[in-house]
Amino acid sequence: MKVWFWILWCIDAVIATVALYFFFSLAGGGRVGSFNILPWLAILAALAAVLGGSVWLRAVGQHVVAIVLLLGLAIPAALCMLLFLLLLILHPNFH
């Protein structure tokens, strides 16, 4: 159970790192302004809540709930990566 928690947590941490990269690269280019700062902050806060909340839940003994929380973000990410992998392998023709 401990190994699954950390594997899922690392997947979610990679997702959060990618989101932070896009946020800071767009903010550096002046594309994050007053119009779209609230959605960005909501996304970053949700990612922080998933990562921090799962560690907190694990610390208080709620291992299953922590894993379920991590799965909510890790499953869509794994499916997205599977889609990109299939696109790279199969070379579909979209004409």
Distance, in Å, from the CA atom of 73 to the CA atom of 8, rounded to the nearest integer, reads 9
Residue type present at position 84:
F
Instruction: Answer yes or no: pTM beyond 0.85.
Output: yes
pLDDT tens per residue across all 95 residues of the chain:
789 999 999 999 999 999 999 999 999 999 998 899 999 999 999 999 999 999 999 999 999 999 999 999 999 999 999 999 999 999 999 88
Place of tokens 């990679």: 14
Distance, in Å, from the CA atom of 68 to the CA atom of 64, rounded to the nearest integer, reads 6
Per-residue CA distances from 31 to 25, 43, 48, 49, 62 (Å): 9, 16, 22, 25, 40
In the three-class reduction of DSSP (H, G, I as helix; E, B as strand; rest coil), residue 39 is classed as helix
